[in-house]
Structure 1
Amino acid sequence: MMKNYLLKQLRFVRENTINCVLEMDDEVSLFIPEGFNNNIKWNLGDIYVVQEKFAFYFIKEKMIEPNNFTELFTTGTKHIIWRDQALPTISELNQLLENQIDRIEQTLEFRLKEVIETPFTTSTGLTLSTVEELLSFSLYHEGMHFATINSFKRIIQMKERIRSISSNNY
């Protein structure tokens, strides 16, 4: 049987997100560009937390939320609350993100048309009422974070080039 197109898209988007940060070290992932509230690590954590909610919470399936993920990565949270918290590494986040897609496929492959008990209205005003609609919207959510992560990576690379040029001139 051919896999549902939405599930293929979810895996495609997730693989791109993971590949984007695969070689990144943890220190770099904590860099916050001027004018922004958060960093790459926060963006990855938020992708995970929101996807967990959209895929599992609304249909009352078991959610996997390590330690204090909700407090660390939910919309509206900022890195400044992280002071004494044990943060996941980029590698741990990537593993969680990869496993999450596997769980979504295994749990939801035949439940995409399932109607959720109480429709959910996003902060942007879109009401979602099926598993398929929730997962489809999560593609938009992850895509926004992917663009942010890519932008932060470009800023980091530019700063590193400038630092390299500066140190070579002296």
Structure 2
Amino acid sequence: MSTNLFDQMAFIRSQTLEAMEGVTEELADRIPVGFRNNLRWQLGHVYTVTEKFAFAQLKLPMHLPEGFMERFPYGTSPLDDIANSFPMPTLPQLESLLKEQPERIRAVLPSSRLNESVPTITTSTGLGLLTPEQSLRYNMYHEGLHFGIISVYKRLLSR
């Protein structure tokens, strides 16, 4: 079962990486009218939240470049003052981080601990995630939401 979980995560990530194709540095920073975030924020957010869902409950070290926890958590925006306080990752940096993350999670997160009872993570919608496996499964839904947003942003910005 855990192999299937990790395979699903890798497939979903491949779709997110495919959605990055054709995105330039300039396009990545444009915010569509009526929205608060851009493509770069979406990608950094997916990476940051995945780190949290994969490692926080088991108190395993997260691999977060400087400023990611401040720049990309839920509720933030590139329009916020805090965004100017930390280095901005380039698209190649984000792509590299996003590419290596699923395999690193598979290598670091022991399958034997996926169903451990751990401190609950409560999502922004109020869902309590009680095990690392629940968190990783929810993360696939979360990444899928942002994949959809990335796809919409790309269409809106290329008009």
Same fold (TM over 0.5): yes
Residue pair 1:59, 1:116 contacting (<8 A) in 2 also: no
Residue pair 2:46, 2:146 contacting (<8 A) in 1 also: yes
Residue pair 1:7, 1:109 contacting (<8 A) in 2 also: no
The letter for the 1-side match of 2:130 is S
Residue pair 1:13, 1:143 contacting (<8 A) in 2 also: yes
The letter for the 1-side match of 2:6 is L
The letter for the 1-side match of 2:124 is S
Runs of 4 or more above 6 Å deviation? none
1:149 matched residue in structure 2 = 150
Unaligned runs of 5+ in 1: 159-170
Tell me the distance in 1 between the aligned counterparts of 2:113 and 2:156: 38
1:115 matched residue in structure 2 = 116
Range 101-110 or range 29-38, more displaced: 101-110
How many angstroms does 1:85 deviate by?
3.6
Tell me the distance in 2 between the aligned counterparts of 1:3 and 1:76: 31
The letter for the 2-side match of 1:34 is V
2:18 matched residue in structure 1 = 19
1:89 matched residue in structure 2 = 90
Residue pair 1:13, 1:139 contacting (<8 A) in 2 also: yes
CA RMSD across the alignment: 1.7
Unaligned runs of 5+ in 2: none
Residue pair 1:14, 1:98 contacting (<8 A) in 2 also: yes
Calculate percent identity across the aligned residue pairs: 38
The letter for the 2-side match of 1:31 is R
TM-score w.r.t. the length of structure 2 is: 0.91
TM-score w.r.t. the length of structure 1 is: 0.86
Residue pair 1:4, 1:109 contacting (<8 A) in 2 also: no
2:101 matched residue in structure 1 = 100
